[in-house]
Chain A
């Protein structure tokens, strides 16, 4: 047997791949579900914090900055492990899925808040004053004048950060979430063959490569004008 056929037999074994394809596809569904949950809740929470911060209530802002700094400093895997292995000690036992979702959403929330806040503060003060002087309330000025300008600036950095954090769904495999990597790893140990892992790796590429390319497009489309 030549080296090449042995390589194919080992790493790209079609029999093994066919057997575990349904498992990997189930993993893809879990990864997509987890990713969408993280993106929606993380960005929404980040925007909510940035809006709260714009109210300018001192003690509240310290609290927000503290929470944001905390989740920007901690590695996402540490947060996941902390929630999954720590909370059962106080009789809360979140599943691996919930732990991963919560952790990644908190991390994305922190980064999104920073980016939204940077966008809001980058809108010139005159815009606020002009909007208020036309009789708009604080909320109206924020929603109709400041946010539309701020959000445009936040799109490129937010896109990049969101993609990076969404890839973190693979961390769920550490706490027994049956997403792609989790499925691929257990299939590998069941079959004594790395082909399912190759299949899983391919699934990640199919899933994320278009997202990265789209992100590149978004980055140039909404680039910060210097």
Chain B
């Protein structure tokens, strides 16, 4: 069993490959989390415009990307766009797909956060002479973010886990590298190692989330 799934020699041999994957997963996460946050912030700020046309358009946009599996979006960009003469690399496709997909999720969370800030806050800020954008940025958003911090963190965890999709479009992240090592060594050990790395990396976040959720429940 250990010889198959946790073979020390194979771990040693495949370690550099897997490690390079880990580095890329971290880099990819550092790229796509801010991208998704920016996308979400744009959506949430647009949602403060109360015109019905804007609201309907936003809801359709968000629901569209929530209904669309991220892998399908990724494949569409990676395998579909070359037919239009646009050949983007795996990394770029992942970045665009995440901007669209996770942006929709972050947008919903931030919108809920902004909704949770009493309207009087915006009105008071405006009455002191701040412009609408200034009032949103300096008064409403900080309170909004604090109110939905657990949800933001939970979504960020999902985004980091989602970077494993990069393996399908040959972005050399952790899962892709582990599968390369697996086919070189004919052993599932590298995939087990990758799974352990994911677990060790993300488990603290899962624990923290559980505690935050419990605290939110206790406060109800």
Chain B contacts to A: CB under 8 angstroms: 1, 4-5, 63-64, 66-72, 75-76, 79-80, 83-84, 157-158, 161-165, 167-168, 175, 179, 182, 187-188, 191-192, 194-195, 198-199, 201-203, 205-207, 210, 213-214, 217, 220
Measured CA separation A226–B162 after assembly (Å): 31
A82's partner among B80, B188, B213 (CB-CB below 8 A) is: B188
Given A73-B201, A75-B163, 15 more A-B residue pairs with CB atoms under 8 Å apart are A10-B84, A74-B199, A75-B162, A78-B164, A79-B195, A81-B191, A82-B188, A85-B179, A89-B187, A89-B188, A164-B158, A198-B80, A205-B67, A208-B68, A224-B220
Does the CB pair A69–B67 fall under 8 Å? no
A197's partner among B75, B161, B217 (CB-CB below 8 A) is: B75
B83's partner among A11, A181, A205 (CB-CB below 8 A) is: A11
Measured CA separation A114–B212 after assembly (Å): 12
A74's partner among B4, B198, B214 (CB-CB below 8 A) is: B198
Q: Return chain B residues, CB-CB under 8 Å to A198.
A: 76, 80
Does the CB pair A72–B206 fall under 8 Å? yes
List residues of A (11-58) whose CB comes within 8 Å of B's CBs: 11
List residues of A (77-114) whose CB comes within 8 Å of B's CBs: 77-79, 81-82, 85-86, 89-90, 114
Does the CB pair A212–B164 fall under 8 Å? no
Does the CB pair B67–A208 fall under 8 Å? yes
Does the CB pair A77–B210 fall under 8 Å? no
B213 CB → nearest A CB, Å = 6
Does the CB pair B72–A73 fall under 8 Å? no
Q: Return chain B residues, CB-CB under 8 Å to A163.
A: 66
Chain A contacts to B: CB under 8 angstroms: 7, 10-11, 69-70, 72-79, 81-82, 85-86, 89-90, 114, 118, 121-122, 163-164, 167-171, 173-174, 180-181, 185, 188, 193-194, 197-198, 200-201, 204-205, 208-209, 211-213, 216, 224, 226
Q: Return chain B residues, CB-CB under 8 Å to A90.
A: 1, 4
Does the CB pair B79–A209 fall under 8 Å? no
Does the CB pair B165–A197 fall under 8 Å? no
Does the CB pair B80–A194 fall under 8 Å? yes
Does the CB pair B71–A170 fall under 8 Å? yes
